[in-house]
Amino acid sequence: MPAPRTIAFVLFENALALDVTGPAEVFSTADRLTGNPEPAYRLVYLSARGGLVGTTCGLALQTRPCAGFDLEGLDTMIVVGGPAAAIPTRDAELIAWIGRASRAARRTCSICTGAFLLAAAGLLDGRRAVTHWSSVEALRARYPEVRVELDPIYVRDGDVWTSAGVTAGIDLALALVEADAGRRLSLAVAKELVVYLHRAGGQAQFSRMLAVQTGLEAGRANSGLDDLHLWIADHLGEDLAVERLAALAGMAPRTFARRFVDRYACTPAKLVEDLRVEAASRHLEEGDATIKQIALACGFGDEERMRRAFMRRMGIPPAAYRDRFAAPHVSTYVAS
């Protein structure tokens, strides 16, 4: 039998417990479902100095010191995240160890804001990466060499994997199991854990509407355009040209376009397209309407315009999006 793959989780004080326990349960469940007498994975939990490490929910996890861990045979390193992730980035010894461990490991991963530690070690320079949506701009500002992406749940760039916030770590772990043992086992693990079967990395990690609302709340005082995105979302099937939107706002088109960009950080056309793609995505995930019907209902006009919009935003056409993300029919599962 092959030796177990060693998966090392790197923790710090006030890490998110689910960043650790979610992926750990994926690997342990994979072991259980294979039925093999020898485990496929060996899980170890590390921190800068070892001992009990507290998490944000109050759960304390016993860890071993990084410095005393033998890097020989390390398969996968997973650096977890948490609201205090900025603090360990200033621990020069820990960051140096993460760099050495990455060179020894077959693959290096981060969950949520764990990406900040990988970036501090220089492991994300020139690479595509993702983190929790609320920390994207901070990661970009602090580490401009990193090609930070906003939407994906997880990203693989060579032997480095990064994932978005919290539960996205489960999606990442499922992807790692699939890479190791195939899709059948990965899907079996997802079913056993009663999680989505299973989200691919290209699915957006949060809604465009939430992003807009968050940006408005963090922005300047009311500009007269603050509720326009809500009106647009309720009228996606209508003509939403700049001229009509400007008339609704009581402004000349050029003035409207300028003020809109100031308030929403994108053009009117970009926001309209994003909201249409998001609405169409929900239809594809949850309903049985044809792509043509969805295109008309969401204001694209025809399937080809909707396909081009999906390729720009999602990187895949609507039909492929439905194949990946359509929710399965609800069924009753009774454990044997």
Question: What are the CA-CA distances from residue 107 to residues 14, 39, 176 (Å)?
Answer: 25, 19, 10
Spatial distance between the Cα atoms of 215 and 237, rounded to a whole number of angstroms:
25
Q: Which residues contact 58 (CB under 8 A, 6 or more apart)?
A: none
Question: Which two tokens mark 138?
Answer: 């901070």
Task: Return the SS3 of 13.
Answer: coil
Of the residues 66, 109, 112, 298, only one is catalytic, namely: 112
112 belongs to the catalytic site: yes
Question: Which two tokens mark 180?
Answer: 């190791």
Pairing of strands 51-54, 60-65: antiparallel
Pairing of strands 41-47, 60-65: parallel
Note whether 111 and 79 are within 8 A (CB).
yes
Spatial distance between the Cα atoms of 188 and 181, rounded to a whole number of angstroms:
11
Catalytic positions are: 112
